[in-house]
Amino acid sequence: MTFYSLLLVIHIVAAVVGLGASFGMPVLMSSVKTVPQAKFAFAVSKGIEKFAKVGSITLLITGIIMAIIQPYLFKEIWYIASLVIYVAVQPIAAGLLPKKAKLQMETLENYQGKELPDEYNTLAKESVPLNNVLHIAAIVLIILMTIKPF
């Protein structure tokens, strides 16, 4: 096995681990109905988030190293488009969604009831389109890297 092949295997495993976690977190968070469930889901999501972060960073690093090894990749439109899409969604993945989650958790910390407060539900609804953008971007990235259309 060549070094490039090893990087490719790591890249694929990182995609499975990172993207799987990214697709799983919204499902987990949308299933909560009470404050205790939401608090538990947030605790679980912190662990899942580590997989998403490590997978995402590993994807970027291995992808760039593979292009350094095979510089023709820097001329491939599918590769450049993949990098652009990856960078474009980072403000959502690393900024907007974590801020919404932090606000949701803060809402729960000061809330005394068992039913989810309206502010929590509003923030959750605001996160849905952001998660949809991330999921669509991930699917497009998978398609670009798999079929290399151009």
As averages over each run of 10 residues, the pLDDT of the chain (150 residues) reads: 96 92 90 94 91 93 97 96 96 94 92 92 95 95 93
Output the pLDDT for position 20.
87
> What is the pLDDT at residue 117?
94
Q: Are 66 and 79 in contact (CB under 8 A)?
A: no
Structural domain of 70 = 3-147
Q: Which two tokens stand for residue 124?
A: 């959750």
Rounded Cα gap, residues 139 and 34, in angstroms = 32
Q: 66 with 2: CB under 8 angstroms?
A: no
Overall domain count for the chain: 1
Contact 7, 66 (CB under 8 A): yes
Report the 10 Å Cβ neighbour count for 22. Answer: 22
CB atoms near residue 27 (< 10 Å): 9
How much is the pLDDT for 21? 87
Distances (CA, A) of 144 to 34, 95, 107, 138: 40, 25, 39, 10
Between CA 22 and CA 25 the distance in angstroms is 6
Beta bridge partners of 115: 34
Q: Are 89 and 137 in contact (CB under 8 A)?
A: yes
